[in-house]
Structure 1
Amino acid sequence: MKALLLEEPKHIRLTEVEQPSPGPGWLLIRVERAGICGTDKAMYTGTYRLLKKPLIPGHEVSGIVVDVGAGVSRDLVGRRVTTEINVYCGKCWYCRNGMHTHCPYRETIGITRDGGMAEYMVTRADLIHVVDDLSPLQAAFVEPLAAVVEMVEMEPVRPLSRVAVIGVGAIGLLAVQVLRLFNPELIVAVSRPGSPKARLAGELGADLVVDYPELTEILRRETPEGQGFDYVVEATGSSKGLEIAVDIARPRGVVALKSTHGSPVSFDQTKAVIKELRLTTSRCGPFDKAISLLRKRLVNVDKLVTSEYGLEKGAEAFEKSLERDQVKVHIVI
């Protein structure tokens, strides 16, 4: 089968590899779409160390089940599915206590084991979710949307909060939409000056869309005593994002970190302590809730795909994903 192999940073190529076969309890998916996410880009640029070489990346996937291993119902053949990405052991202390994503023995699809930027991929049957009623594009957004749902599960946002979302990439724009469901007083989306993606934030639910130079005035005018936002989402994909988030959060406010750029960060810890900020992090989340949001059309993902490429143009797709006007690049197979 054809697959994209990431061998070293900035070195990805289309090649022929052996088609995987589903073992007992596993199934084979003919991939329809795979999204390029922030972690994929960080592995491609080298800021996130490759944990498997070579690697078929891709964990934001949708596809059709075409074969199943022993012990898996053949009724799944022909169904559209998406897959969770953490292949956990199910036996350790973390798994027994419901923290499958922190299983120390897990493999992670598209990161430590081959993923979905290929014609076919395998996954364990208990990790899939049937999504026949979603389009291939929508189904490929379940994983990143679930990660945003996890953010508000880890640290809920209170109704009538004043919220800032720093970064207007895919995670930031998904966060704007999820946070809107909590009836905030104000959502401010913050972008870099001249960002071509900023308009989408307004279309998808932000009350104000500002760039960094405008932020000080908005903070002074729109937050109590000009002291900052109740809830700040850091989704910049940059090592500078945390510093900005700490600056604009109010005393005893929340800073929710969503970037996985792989680079070390520095910030004013003294300021964070004096403010008594709650710094919260989150990653993989509940697929069932993300699917429900998509089924109920409470989150719009169709607008977030800004470029599509065939598998044969995978290297071009990764380069395109680094351009500042891109929200989400999809590999269409």
Structure 2
Amino acid sequence: MKALQLSAPKQWEQIEIDEPSPPGPGEALVRIHRVGVCGTDLGGYLGKFPFFSYPRIPGHELGVEVVAVGEGVENVKVGDRCSVEPYINCQKCYSCERGLTNCCESHQTLGVMCDGGLTEKMILPARKLHPANNLSYEQSALVETLAIGCHAIDRAHVTEKDTVLVIGSGPIGLSAIEFARVAGARVIVADLSQTRLDFVTEKMGMTDTIQFDGSEADIEKLEAMTDGRRADVVVDATGNHHSMRRAMEMAAFGGRVVYVGITQQDLQFPHAPFLHRRELTILASRNALTGDFARIIQLIESGVIDTDPWITHHAKFEEVIESFPAWTDPESGVVKAVIHIS
């Protein structure tokens, strides 16, 4: 059975792996149809993503079809089209006991800490499959990306009274934008790239955007748009430690700062003038919760979330090794690439 493996950073190999065994109790055998490519995969390819280990078969944004189910499986049936919740949790640790399955103490994300879906078929815990029979396989593969933004916005308890500044308009930033809008908030989008800001304006109807340049002018522009108040909620989706350090400067007094991007660098910031004086709340946001997936599937089905603008690039399985390096270039215009397995 064919698969694509990163043997080391920037080193793809097409390999052959064994066919999966029949599913056991609580398991399902799925056929992979679509694999979405996100910043995690790009970072894994470049050797820059925390937690990524090698050799690894990537792929965690998956649109799949159920081929067989094991004993006791009732949530899905053969033939179901599903989105995959790729966060494998132990169900036993203190986090899992409290329902915090996204930060299980033994957490394994498919395609990052364990092999993922860049292959033909795989065995998964059936509890990680979410039926999406009214969605295309491409839409099913987008659900996980949307779930990241959904969880980040939920972490900040965003309401219609809030002004939300989303810094970074890559896929994770776009997902945060979607759910800030669903919550009824005013959304301002900031990015270094005017091309990305043009995308959110043209494709997502965003009217409030700021092209950041890293200077004090960034804050001045934000204050001009908020009557000097700055943002009630700042979501940093960049993964850049310089941006993440400055994020709290963008927050209003009593504001909330959500770090959904990931950096391996230390974050340093002055305590007194920002964190203490403004009594800010700093929140980390990791992965998503199980309930987010069913919610997102329903929002796509009902048309509240339009996925059409998201997918900008496609590749067949056989084209990935040649196409992938270009997707790491911000000037390539990639918002979301999708790999067709079958």
SS in 2 for 1:303: coil
Establish whether residue 319 from structure 1 lines up as the match of residue 325 from structure 2: yes
SS in 2 for 1:114: coil
Following superposition of structure 1 onto structure 2, how do residues 18-29 of structure 1 map, counting pairs within 5 Å?
18-21=18-21, 22-29=23-30
Aligned residue among 272, 276, 293 for 2:279: 276
Sequence identity, in percent? 32
Deviations 1:62-93 (A, max 9, x none): 11111233443697111111121122222333
Which residue pairs with 1:147 in the alignment? 148
Which residue pairs with 1:329 in the alignment? 337
Structure showing greater relative contact order (alpha-carbon pairs closer than 8 Å, 6 or more residues apart) = 1
Which residue pairs with 2:230 in the alignment? 228
Which residue pairs with 1:162 in the alignment? 163
For residues 32 and 168 of structure 1, the distance between their equivalents in structure 2, rounded to whole angstroms, comes to 27
> What is the CA distance between 1:135 and its match in structure 2?
0.8
Please tell me the residue identity of whatever aligns with 1:118: T
Which residue pairs with 1:198 in the alignment? 197
User: Where do 5+ consecutive residues of structure 2 fail to align?
Assistant: none
- Asked if 2 retains the 8 angstrom alpha-carbon contact of 1:28 and 1:65, the reply is yes
> What is the CA distance between 1:164 and its match in structure 2?
1.2
Deviations 1:116-160 (A, max 9, x none): 111112210111111110011111111111121111222211323
| TM-score (ref. length: structure 2) | 0.89
Aligned residue among 305, 308, 314 for 2:314: 308
| TM-score (ref. length: structure 1) | 0.91
Establish whether residue 58 from structure 1 lines up as the match of residue 62 from structure 2: no
SS in 2 for 1:72: coil
Deviations 1:152-192 (A, max 9, x none): 222211323222111111111122221112222x3211121
- Stretch of structure 1 that moved more, 211-220 or 161-170: 211-220
SS in 2 for 1:196: helix
For residues 70 and 307 of structure 1, the distance between their equivalents in structure 2, rounded to whole angstroms, comes to 39
Q: Aligned residues, how many? A: 329
- Asked if 2 retains the 8 angstrom alpha-carbon contact of 1:30 and 1:66, the reply is yes
Q: 1:283 to 1:15 in 2, by over 3 A?
A: same
Please tell me the residue identity of whatever aligns with 1:229: A
- Asked if 2 retains the 8 angstrom alpha-carbon contact of 1:25 and 1:69, the reply is yes
CA RMSD of aligned residues (A): 2.1
For residues 239 and 20 of structure 1, the distance between their equivalents in structure 2, rounded to whole angstroms, comes to 41
Q: 1:36 to 1:219 in 2, by over 3 A?
A: same
- Asked if 2 retains the 8 angstrom alpha-carbon contact of 1:180 and 1:205, the reply is no
User: Where do 5+ consecutive residues of structure 1 fail to align?
Assistant: none
Which residue pairs with 2:105 in the alignment? 104
Q: 1:49 to 1:67 in 2, by over 3 A?
A: same
For residues 243 and 226 of structure 2, the distance between their equivalents in structure 1, rounded to whole angstroms, comes to 20
Please tell me the residue identity of whatever aligns with 2:265: P
For residues 150 and 124 of structure 1, the distance between their equivalents in structure 2, rounded to whole angstroms, comes to 22
Q: 1:72 to 1:10 in 2, by over 3 A?
A: same
Which residue pairs with 2:136 in the alignment? 135
